[in-house]
Structure 1
Amino acid sequence: MSRGLYTLTSGMITQQRKIDITSNNLANINTAGYKKEQAVTTNFGSLLLSKVNQNGIKQTTEQLGQVSLIRIAEDNNTIHSQGALDQTDGAFDFAILGSGFFGINNNGNVQYTRNGSFDLDNEGYLVLGDKGRVQGEYGDIFIGTDKYNCTEDGGIYVEGELIDKIAIYDFETYDVIDKISEGMYGATVQAQLMEYPVVKKGMIERSNVNMADEMVEVMSSQRALQNASQAIKMYDQIMELAATRIGSLN
C-alpha cells in the first residue's frame, strides 16, 4: 500500500478522535467543575531513510533522517485551569479557589472532584448526588441542617460549634490522577490534605471549557478530515489507473 494512504488514514482517525474529545468538552460546558481535555498525538513507528552513493565499485551510505508514516492520538490531556466562579447562594454549594479537590467517599473509595454542587442525604450527611458523601477531616461530613456557617478554610459551624472541616486534597503532580467519569477522578497515590485551602460557600466553579475555542477546534478538525478523505479518493483513482495501464502492457 502507498505510504500516502497510511499517512492519510491515520490522520483521519486522529482528527475523528479530536472531534470526539472536543464534542465531549462542549457537552460538559455546563457541568460544574468539569475540566476540558485535549488529544495528545504522537508518531507511531518510523523509517530510517538513507541515500546510497555509488562511485565506481565503491559504495557508501549516507543517512538522511527518519520519517513516520502514522500519527495517532495517544492519550487525553486534562487541562486543570481554574473555571469561573458563579454566585448561586445555594445552601450547599461550594467552590475551591485555587488548586485542590473535594474528596467523595464512593463505597469506601475516595474519589476527587472540583464539583461542589452538594446536598444533604436523608441522614443529614453532605453528599454529591449519587457519587457519595463529602469528606471532612473527620470522615463523612454530618450537618443535619441548612442553618450553618462555613468559613473560607472549609470549617463547618452549627450553632457556633465547629463540627468538621471540608477536606481539600491536592497532589504534587496531576499525572497520578485518572479520570473515572465526567468531573470525577481516582488517584494512584495518597492525596495530600491542604493546610490552607480557600473554600467559597454559595458559589459553584463552572467548567473551564471555552465554547468559541472548542468550535474553532471542531471546524479545524472537520476540515482536515474532509481534506484527507478527498486525498484518499485521489490516491484510489491513481492506483486504479496505474493497475489498469500495467495490466494492459504486453
Structure 2
Amino acid sequence: MQTGYYAATGGMVAQFNRIDTIASNLANANTTGYKRDQLITGDFARLFKTVQNELPIANQTEAAAQYLNRSLSRVPQITDAYIDYSLGAMQRTDNTFDLALGKEGQFFAVNTPQGIRLTRDGSFTINEEGKLVNKQGHEVLSTDYFQTKTAITFTSQDSIITIDKNGQISTNVPGSTQMVANKKLLVLEPQNLRMLIKEGDNLYIPEKADTLTPLEDSGTVMQGFVEKSNVNAVNEMIALVEANRLVGMYQKAMDSQMNDLNRDAIEKIASTRR
C-alpha cells in the first residue's frame, strides 16, 4: 500500500472541507447577524490518544488497542467544527423595526412551520396583517407567546413605536403622543451555544432540553441598529488562498506517489541480474 498517497489524499479532503466552509462565510459576509463557521484540523495520532483506553477495535483486546498504523498518524483531517458567536459591528439605520442585540449569545425568537427558531438578524418588518415578522415572513415572538399564542401586532394608528433596551414595545395613544405599553420582545439566551444547529436563512434550532426562558431585563436591545456579519473578508480570503495552495501541494505529492515512485519501483523490480 502506498501510504504516502493515502496521507496526501486525506490532507486534500480536509482542505476541500475548509474551502467549502470559507466559501460559505464569504457568501454571507454581508448577511445581517450572520455568524461565521470555523473548522478544527487535527490528526489521527491525537484522536487515537484520546480514545486508546476505550479499546475501540472490534475484538476488544489490549493488544488490538495498541495497534496503530503509523503511516496514517499524521494525516490531517477535520476533527471538529464550531460557530463563532462573537459580536459583529453595529450599523445604525434609524429604521423603527431594525433591532440588534448588544451581547454575545442572545437571540430573538421567531415562529416557523418547523417550530420555534432563534436568530440574530433583527431586520424586522410589518406584514399585511400588522404582525411583526422577519425577512422570511415568520412571526417574531413576544414574552407571553407561550401563554397567549398571539403575535406582536400594530395598527395604522400606531404612528409612534419605541422599543427599549429590554425589548418592551410602546405605542402612542391614537391622536396623541402619550405612550402605552404593548407586547415585549422574546429575547433568549440559550444555556449551551454549542448545541445550536444552523438551519439556514440565518436561523438556529435550539436544543430540545433548553427551557427557552425569557430574559426579563436583557438590557441589550438596540432600536434603529442592525448587527453586521462577524466575517472578516480579508482573513477569509487569506485562509482561502492558503487552502488552495495546500490542495496544490497535496496534488503534487499524490502525483509523485502514483507516477514517479511507481515507475521507479517497476523499473527496479523488472530488472534482472545475471
* TM superposition score category, shorter chain reference: 0.7 to 0.9
Matched, 1:122 2:128: yes
Specify the alignment match of 2:154 in structure 1.
143
Residues 49-88 of structure 1: CA deviation (Å, up to 9, x unaligned): xxxxxxxxxxxxxx9x884253322443100000000001
Q: CA deviation at 1:244?
A: 3.4
SS at match of 2:141: strand
Q: Retained in 1: the 8 A contact 2:38–2:83?
A: yes
Change (3 A) 1:121 1:43: same
Partners in 2 of 1:69 and 1:98 — Cα distance? 40
Q: Which has the higher strand share?
A: 1
Matched, 1:225 2:247: yes
Matched, 1:13 2:13: yes
Partners in 2 of 1:192 and 1:40 — Cα distance? 32
Partners in 2 of 1:111 and 1:124 — Cα distance? 21
RMSD: 2.3
Aligned length: 236
Specify the alignment match of 1:58 in structure 2.
none
Q: Retained in 2: the 8 A contact 1:85–1:206?
A: yes
Structure 1 segment 74-223 matched on structure 2, within 5 A? 74-99=79-104, 100-107=106-113, 109-139=115-145, 140-144=151-155, 145=158, 147-159=160-172, 160-188=179-207, 189-190=209-210, 191-197=212-218, 198-223=220-245
Q: Aligned partner of 1:163: which letter?
A: N
Q: Retained in 2: the 8 A contact 1:111–1:187?
A: yes
Specify the alignment match of 1:59 in structure 2.
none
> Runs of 5+ in structure 2 lacking a partner?
50-65, 146-150, 173-178
Partners in 2 of 1:240 and 1:126 — Cα distance? 69
Partners in 2 of 1:153 and 1:47 — Cα distance? 48
Q: Aligned partner of 1:247: which letter?
A: A
Q: Aligned partner of 1:83: which letter?
A: G
Which deviates more from structure 2 when the two are superposed, residues 137-146 or residues 9-18?
137-146
Residues 73-126 of structure 1: CA deviation (Å, up to 9, x unaligned): 244310000000000111210000103000010026110010000101111111
Partners in 1 of 2:37 and 2:241 — Cα distance? 17
Partners in 2 of 1:13 and 1:146 — Cα distance? 57
SS at match of 2:39: strand
SS at match of 2:20: helix
SS at match of 1:193: coil
Matched, 1:71 2:76: yes
Q: Which has the higher helix share?
A: 2
Q: Aligned partner of 2:181: which letter?
A: L
Change (3 A) 1:96 1:47: closer
Moved over 4 A (4+): 44-48
Query: Sequence identity, in percent?
Result: 28
